[in-house]
Amino acid sequence: MVGLWIAYTFFRTGKTDEVVFSIGAGTEEIRFVKKLIEEFETKHPAIKVVLNVLPAPTDQQHHYYITTLGAKNKDIDVMRIDTIWIAEFASAGWLESLGKYIDKEDRASFIPVTEKTNVFQDNLYAIPWNANVGLLYYRKDLLEKYNMHPPNTWEELIEICTKISASESIYGYLWQGKQYEGLVCNFVEFIGSNNGGIIDDAGRIIVDAEQNKIALNLMRDLIWEYRISPQNTYSELAEESSRHLFQQGKGLFLRNWTYVWELCQKDPSMKGKVGVSQLPKFSDGKPASVYGGWHLAINAYSKKKERAWQLINFLTSYETQKELAIDLSWLPSRKALYKDPELLEKLPFLPVVESALQDVQIRPNVPYYQWISDVLQKHVNKALSNQTSSEEALSSIKAKLEGIKRDFTEN
Ligand code: GLC
């Protein structure tokens, strides 16, 4: 009904209604999103979309939303939000509940993890736009040259790196160790690959478990003991800095998200040289990719919720997600796209991702996640820079998390 009313108003007055879409992403991504917006505006001539472009790093965007939404800003209508903010923003009353906009069948067409990460207190607050999982990129050409295969275990990875990286004068393994959210993703993957975790299903904080200590020791040893990861991993390496090193031909393996695939295909010096597999595991563990991803939500203070929904509906449609997967290698969030023949050809690692998604690691889905993350970032990073032992770091994290949990659950 409201849609008809908007169309009628447009035809009667010729006036468009503005919808503000807030998004932080890389330059290439924004360029492509602008093209999608043009497609949307052609289909919906009564709506004009204004982009509010934010910096790409998740922590900086989070800061922006805390201040703007905290001040009950009405000017933003649609927001692209990280998977880890949903519970926090929803509990603060900043997100419109979306259950009434989406029908049951459409909701069920998204990957199942959506029901865990995008739901808070039984309400759906965001529609997944692009899913994300941590993957292992490798130099296929170099592994072939040395007659080696992508590693299944961390032990194998170390062995391969030790063999190849010295003779090729390149780094062995590039990953994200700087003090920011990306480090938390890597930490969750390392500990998960040794059957460890941060909080168990009963809500107990288990971060100081022995498996986690072993995993954190490995993270540190990759830098200081085996020396197959750069010395500045803990001070400099984030998604983009590690990707640049890899694309410059300076690394054998890289842990990163799916967007790196298309950038490597478009880079003449990398095309055909890169393979993708699941992340390695400890010998008794399992590969443990973390679930990342960006979702579309409506600002609870928006005055244009129905138009905002029309935009979300368009951007998360099968066709639009397919375009995004083809052009930016953004991982789709609709299940059916994982069987799309054209996509399977374009993104040969889709089956790897599909199986990683079955058992993906989720960062704690609680309103106080950001507090947890700050503690993890600080203490894990301290262990990586050798300022504390893994044991000390994990017991400090445990004590701090107990305090945070108490503060949030007792009030
Ligand atoms: C990616 C993921 C996001 C994660 C971030 C960490 O953007 O999609 O979920 O928080 O990386 O840097």
Domains of the chain and any CATH numbers:
2-132+292-358 (3.40.190.10), 135-289+368-410 (3.40.190.10)
Q: Are strands 251-256 and 171-174 parallel, antiparallel or unpaired?
A: parallel
Q: Long-range pairs for 399-405 at CB < 8 Å and ≥24 separation?
A: 400/375, 401/198, 401/199, 401/205, 401/207, 401/372, 401/375, 402/205, 404/368, 404/371, 404/372, 404/375, 405/203, 405/205, 405/368
> How many whole angstroms from 1 Cα to the centroid of ligand 1?
37
The residues, ordered by sequence, that sit 6+ positions from 317 with a Cβ below 8 Å of its Cβ are none
Q: Which of 82, 91, 81 is nearest to 120 (CA)?
A: 91
Q: Is residue 29 in contact with ligand 1, taking CB distance under 6 Å?
A: no
- State the closest ligand 1 atom to the C-alpha of 238, by its place in the atom list counted from 1: 12
Q: Which of 28, 32, 78, 70 is nearest to 52 (CA)?
A: 78
> How many whole angstroms from 204 Cα to the centroid of ligand 1?
25
- Can you give the pLDDT of all 411 residues of the chain as single tens digits? 444 444 444 444 456 799 999 999 999 999 999 999 999 999 999 999 999 999 999 999 999 999 999 999 999 999 999 999 999 999 999 999 999 999 999 999 999 999 999 999 999 999 999 999 999 999 999 999 999 999 999 999 999 999 999 999 999 999 999 999 999 999 999 999 999 999 998 989 999 999 999 999 999 999 999 999 999 999 999 999 999 999 999 999 999 999 999 999 999 999 999 999 999 999 999 999 999 999 999 999 999 999 999 999 999 999 999 999 999 999 999 999 999 999 999 999 999 999 899 889 999 999 999 999 999 999 999 999 999 999 999 999 999 999 999 998 876
Q: Is residue 82 in contact with ligand 1, taking CB distance under 6 Å?
A: yes
Which pTM does this prediction carry? 0.95
Q: Is residue 84 in contact with ligand 1, taking CB distance under 6 Å?
A: yes
The closest residue, in CA terms, to atom 12 on ligand 1 is 182
Burial of 296 (0-12, 13-18, 19+ CB in 10 A): buried
The pair of three-digit structure tokens given for residue 34, joined into one six-digit string: 């602008």
The closest residue, in CA terms, to atom 9 on ligand 1 is 292
Q: Which of 371, 396, 374, 378 is nearest to 207 (CA)?
A: 396
> How many whole angstroms from 58 Cα to the centroid of ligand 1?
6
Q: At what angle do helices 305-315 and 2-13 cross, to 10 degrees?
A: 100
- State the closest ligand 1 atom to the C-alpha of 176, by its place in the atom list counted from 1: 12
Cα separations (Å) of 139 from 211, 292, 360?
A: 30, 24, 25
Q: Long-range pairs for 201-208 at CB < 8 Å and ≥24 separation?
A: 203/405, 205/398, 205/401, 205/402, 205/405, 207/394, 207/397, 207/398, 207/401, 208/391, 208/394, 208/395, 208/397, 208/398
d(CA 221, CA 244): 23
pLDDT at 101: 98
Q: Is residue 182 in contact with ligand 1, taking CB distance under 6 Å?
A: yes
Asked whether 205 and 396 are in contact (CB, 8 A), the reply is: no
Q: Is residue 181 in contact with ligand 1, taking CB distance under 6 Å?
A: yes
- State the closest ligand 1 atom to the C-alpha of 291, by its place in the atom list counted from 1: 9
d(CA 199, CA 409): 15
With the C-alpha atoms ordered 43, 49, 55, 57, is the resulting torsion angle positive or negative? negative
Q: Which of 130, 242, 257 to mutate to test the pocket of ligand 1 (most atoms within 8 A of CB)?
A: 257
Asked whether 74 and 302 are in contact (CB, 8 A), the reply is: yes
The closest residue, in CA terms, to atom 4 on ligand 1 is 292
The closest residue, in CA terms, to atom 3 on ligand 1 is 292
> How many whole angstroms from 42 Cα to the centroid of ligand 1?
31
Q: Are strands 251-256 and 135-139 parallel, antiparallel or unpaired?
A: antiparallel
Backbone dihedral region for residue 151 (phi beyond 0: left; psi -120 to 50: alpha; all else: beta): beta
